Amino acid sequence: MTNAAALTALQSLSATNKSLEQTQARISTGYRVSQASDNAAYWSIATTMRSDNAALSTVQDALGLGASKVDTAYTGMNNVLTTIGQIKTKLLSTVGQTAAAKAKTQTEINALQAQMKSFADAATFSGSNFLAVTSKQTAVPNDGVQADSQIVSSFNRSSSGAVSIGTIDIDVEGTKLFDYGLATEVKNRGTLDRQTSIYSTGAAQTLYDNAYATALAGGATDIAANTAGQAAAGAVVPRVDNISAYNLDITAAGVTDDIITQMVTRIDKVMAQLTDSATILGSAKSSIDLQKTFTQSLMDSIDRGVGQLVDADMNKESTRLQALQVQQQLGIQSLSIANSASQSILSLFKN
């Protein structure tokens, strides 16, 4: 009634076939753990880390976009620095010159100023410009200070599983050269259109400069700082107001060689400020490059870690496949022998 040998052989063959199916699945997918039933813990870890790696890939793209924005601004800033150096040279050359010569030089200066504006306006990438900005009045009074531009730099998961996003912040207020808001809206001009006053005496100029710097350090806008400086300097004439790197007229009434010398000093200070702005962009560029390298290394590390958890050892699995195929053949033979033995017993009764 019961062929015990055949049942044993059948159980062994079934176990071999199951192992064979598992090995074939590992070879075909390349994974030792391809679904939760293979190993729930490893599958859960691998699924989460793959999701995080996809997020890191998006971060890598954001860093690339941010790098392009900073590179564009940095290129514009370098060109502006070169151009304002030329303006400084032109100003120096006019000291002691005739009115006619100064008029010709003023024409050249105007062209260089227009070129600086063109550089700033063109330094736009994907709608972002860190050199030429526009302040607009909103429901909240506008202080003219530009918000930092944020570049997504990291995707972080804490040990408790909490997710956070890291950013590299670009100090646009420190890099802006022009502010194109309306006259009633502009509260804090950029480096190139920030206006100051120039006095004919050194004492008055010192009083103005000190009051102007103190007001700015206290959080005042450039307009308020200019007013404070004028109040401190007093009524000294001649005096030239509304001087900026983008607004220099050496042919205007009251502009003497001493005033032009002060203009050169102003331009030299502007160059120092532009150098600081270029440093902001250069530092951001360096941070982005470092973060890009780290993010790529982190993604590779996660890939390796996930692979160690779930990847199949193809050498091992191919060897196991051959062994199981042999076991399968032997199991079939064993089952055949067990069935043949029963048939031999039955043949005795027939005889």
pTM reported for the whole predicted model: 0.79
Residue 251 sits in a domain of what CATH number?
Answer: 1.20.1330.10
Look at residue 54 in the predicted model and tell me its pLDDT: 92
Q: Other C-beta atoms within 10 Å of 278: how many?
A: 17
Look at residue 344 in the predicted model and tell me its pLDDT: 64
Tens-place pLDDT, residues 164-194: 999 999 999 899 999 887 666 666 788 998 8
Number of domains in the chain: 2
State which residues form the domain around 342. Answer: 4-30+312-349
Least confident segment among 41-50, 74-83, 126-135, 187-196: 187-196
Backbone angles phi, psi at 304, to 5 degrees: -65, -40
With respect to residue 205, please indicate whether it lies within any of the assigned structural domains: no
Contact 71, 63 (CB under 8 A): no
Higher-pLDDT residue of 264 and 181 is: 264
Least confident segment among 32-41, 134-143, 227-236: 134-143
With respect to residue 264, please indicate whether it lies within any of the assigned structural domains: yes
Higher-pLDDT residue of 152 and 185 is: 152
Q: Are residue 248 and residue 300 in the same domain, yes or no?
A: yes
Q: Are residue 322 and residue 260 in the same domain, yes or no?
A: no
Q: Are residue 276 and residue 326 in the same domain, yes or no?
A: no
Q: Are residue 26 and residue 50 in the same domain, yes or no?
A: no
Q: Are residue 21 and residue 124 in the same domain, yes or no?
A: no
Tens-place pLDDT, residues 294-339: 999 999 999 999 988 888 888 888 888 888 888 888 888 888 888 7
Q: Are residue 158 and residue 70 in the same domain, yes or no?
A: yes
With respect to residue 343, please indicate whether it lies within any of the assigned structural domains: yes
Map residue 98 onto helix, strand or coil.
coil
Q: Are residue 49 and residue 109 in the same domain, yes or no?
A: yes
With respect to residue 329, please indicate whether it lies within any of the assigned structural domains: yes
DSSP state, residue 245: T
Q: What mean pLDDT is predicted for residues 113-122?
A: 95
Contacts 24+ apart (CB under 8 A), 53-56: 53/299, 53/302, 53/303, 53/306, 55/155, 56/155, 56/295, 56/298, 56/299, 56/302
Which residues partner with 168 through β-bridges?
A: 151
Look at residue 186 in the predicted model and tell me its pLDDT: 62
Question: Residue 222 and residue 217: Cα distance in Å, rounded?
Answer: 10
Q: What is the residue whose two structure tokens read 């002691």?
A: 96
